[in-house]
């Protein structure tokens, strides 16, 4: 077979692949536990060979062995972690983006793709109440979004100090809390900056006064360049007290406020919970993962800056071969995150939004919230279960009376072995617990009832 020539063999290959895609979209594969590496190795055998397996051979390895060894995150009963539920339109357009060979880095050769992505980013910026200056780019995930935003924040803080004739501090630090996502600690390690943990209030929220205390307690020589507030904590779905955190950032002389809405940012589109985000409009940067609760395929995270200029200053790569691209007053997505070559990964999200309209997104998110509230009611009604936190978004966290960590793990293992659901235990306040995280509009109240019934 030829690598590039459009001939009968390649056409047949593409038709077989498309047939597979159609069959997959028409059918939810069963939930099955992962095989061991040895089992998979024995079943698959060598695949990278000098002569190649041919189209049929390679596709058969995928359909017979590789696909069944992985659990699709769009299963309505995939309720562990934060799953994903791409719309059919977004999934379909991912294929178009893949085959377009259009790079999403620079305006020069990606203007159409970038324009579409910017419209999708604008929708998110409008939901957050950010000014018309706002902009940014789509990155691989919340982890890369948080890192890129914090790199921008530190660069801006260094510039501000230099403008005032000050040297860099001995140590830079970011303020977060015990419920901040692990990726913020990870970003701090990459950046070699410190993390100062502020206390949570009784409602498990980061608040302005706690930020003030954390800043005041910083070691000598340490300065704070950013505060990370979370709009929907991963474990229990709490939205931090954003307006109060914004006040603290202002009072401390304009410290960068980053809002991590990787999971919960989608709730900005849901009128029933929108008030929880009051104050988000004052952030300097915001991350929302469409691959979590906004029905996009992996990997798609939106990074939006109130003002993209400090990001451009922090992230633009300079070289003789790049300057022709960057020396123009055009908007290059790759200048705003830690990336150069980039897939136009926001375009499937844009396409689905353009197809369905934002009302459909609002309704789908509201539906997941309603299912979560029904799940909450079932937990509260069960004598053997205790609700841990009143759900603010679509996470329902609970415990089973008398159970220890091994009981939870055994229960989750059994659900997986029986193909009933994907659940994983978590810890809350140091104690083992369970959580449903509902981001899939196809998850029903009945799905939750079936799972809860196995706890009786």
Q: Give me the residues that bind ligand PLP (CB under 6 A), please.
A: 82, 141-143, 181, 183, 230, 234, 260, 262-263, 289, 301
Triad 298, 304, 308: Cα angle to 5°? 135
Tokens representing 247?
């006040």
Nearer to ligand PLP, 263 or 350 (CB): 263
Measured CA to CA, the distance from residue 33 to residue 271 in angstroms comes to 38
Q: How far apart are CA 224 and CA 215, in angstroms?
A: 7
Give me the least distance between CB of 258 and ligand PLP, in Å please: 11
Cα 167 to Cα 160: distance, rounded to the nearest angstrom: 10
Query: How much is the CA Rg of the chain, to the nearest whole Å?
Result: 23
| Rounded Cα distance, 257 and 276, in Å | 17
Each residue of 189-203: b (16+ CB within 10 Å) or e?
A: eebebebbbbebeee
Of 105 and 234, CB closest to ligand PLP: 234
Give, in order, the Cα–Cα distances in Å from 177 to each of 221, 254, 340, 392: 21, 19, 31, 18
Instruction: Kindly tell me which of 144 and 173 has the beta carbon lying closer to ligand PLP.
Output: 144
- The nearer residue to ligand PLP, 176 or 452, going by C-beta atoms, is 176
Count Cβ neighbours within 10 Å for each residue of 99-137 and write b for 16 or more, e otherwise: ebebbbbbbeebeebbebbbebbebbbebbebeeebbbb
Residue 272 contacts by C-beta under 8 Å, 6 or more apart in sequence?
A: 366, 369
Give whichever of 135 and 290 is closer to ligand PLP, judged by the CB atom.
290
Compute the least distance from the CB of residue 239 to ligand PLP, in Å.
Answer: 11
CB 230 to ligand PLP: min, Å: 5
In angstroms, give the least distance from the CB of 292 to ligand PLP: 6
Smallest gap from residue 143 Cβ to ligand PLP (A): 3
> 200 pairs with which residues across the strands?
206
CB of 148 to ligand PLP, least distance (A): 11
293 vs 41, 120, 300, 368, CA distance in Å? 34, 15, 11, 9
User: What is residue 103's DSSP assignment?
Assistant: B
CB 142 within 8 Å of CB 334: no
What residues are paired with 436 via a beta bridge? 396
In angstroms, what is the minimal distance from the CB of 293 to ligand PLP? 9
CB burial of residue 209 (10 Å; 0-12, 13-18, 19+): middle
State in angstroms the smallest separation of the CB of 207 from ligand PLP.
Answer: 18
Give the nearest distance from C-beta 311 to ligand PLP in angstroms. 18
Q: How far is residue 363's CA from residue 270's CA, in Å, rounded to a whole number? A: 8
Residue closer to ligand PLP (CB basis): 230 or 426: 230
- Closest CB to ligand PLP among 264 and 441? 264
Nearer to ligand PLP, 104 or 237 (CB): 237
Nearest-approach distance from CB 443 to ligand PLP, in angstroms: 18
208-216 vs 242-251: helix crossing angle, rounded to 10: 40
- Pick the closer one to ligand PLP by CB: 104 or 261: 261
Nearest Cα residue to 364 out of 394, 339, 402: 394
411 CB neighbour count, 10 Å cutoff: 18
CB of residue 233 to ligand PLP, shortest distance in Å: 6
Residue placing its CB nearer to ligand PLP in the complex, 183 or 399:
183
Q: Which is nearer to ligand PLP, 143 or 352 (CB)?
A: 143
């Amino acid at each position: 077979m030829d690598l590039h020539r459009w001939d009968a063999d390649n056409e047949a290959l593409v038709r077989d692949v498309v047939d597979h895609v159609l069959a997959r979209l028409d059918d939810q594969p069963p939930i099955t536990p992962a095989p061991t590496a040895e089992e998979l190795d024995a079943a698959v055998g060598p695949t990278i060979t000098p002569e190649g397996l041919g189209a049929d051979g390679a596709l058969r390895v995928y359909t017979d062995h590789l696909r069944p060894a992985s659990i699709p995150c769009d299963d309505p009963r995939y309720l562990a972690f934060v799953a994903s539920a791409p719309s059919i339109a977004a999934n379909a357009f991912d294929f178009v983006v893949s085959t377009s060979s259009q790079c999403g880095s620079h305006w020069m050769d990606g203007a159409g793709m970038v324009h579409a992505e910017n419209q999708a980013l604008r929708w998110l910026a409008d939901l957050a109440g950010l000014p018309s200056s706002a902009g940014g780019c789509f990155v691989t995930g919340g982890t890369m979004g948080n890192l890129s935003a914090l790199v921008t924040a530190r660069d801006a803080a260094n510039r501000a100090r230099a403008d005032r004739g000050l040297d860099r501090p001995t140590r830079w630090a970011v303020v977060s809390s015990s419920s901040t996502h692990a990726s913020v600690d990870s970003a701090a390690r990459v950046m070699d900056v410190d993390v100062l943990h502020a206390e949570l209030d009784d409602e498990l929220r980061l608040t302005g006064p706690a930020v003030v205390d954390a800043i005041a307690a910083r070691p000598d020589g340490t300065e704070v360049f950013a505060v990370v507030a979370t709009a929907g904590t991963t474990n229990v779905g709490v939205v931090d007290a954003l307006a109060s955190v914004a006040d603290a950032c202002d009072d401390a002389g304009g410290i960068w406020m980053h809002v991590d809405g990787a999971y919960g940012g989608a709730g900005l589109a849901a009128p029933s919970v929108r008030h929880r985000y009051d104050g988000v409009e004052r952030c300097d940067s915001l991350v929302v993962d469409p691959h979590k609760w906004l029905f996009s395929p992996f990997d798609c995270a939106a990074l939006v800056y109130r003002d993209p200029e400090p990001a451009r200053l922090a992230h633009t790569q300079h070289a003789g071969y790049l300057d022709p691209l960057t020396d123009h007053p055009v908007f290059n997505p790759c200048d705003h995150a830690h990336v150069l070559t980039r897939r136009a990964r926001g375009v499937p999200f844009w396409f689905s939004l353009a197809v369905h309209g934002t009302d459909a997104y609002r309704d789908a998110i509201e539906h997941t919230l309603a299912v979560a509230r029904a799940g909450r009611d079932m937990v509260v009604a069960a004598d053997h279960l205790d609700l841990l936190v009143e759900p603010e978004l679509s996470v329902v966290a609970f415990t089973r009376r008398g159970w220890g960590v091994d009981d939870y793990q055994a229960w989750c293992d059994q659900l997986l072995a029986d193909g009933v659901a994907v659940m994983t235990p978590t810890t809350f306040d140091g104690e083992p617990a369970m959580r449903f995280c509902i981001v899939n509009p196809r998850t029903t109240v009945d799905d939750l009832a079936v799972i809860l019934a196995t706890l009786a």
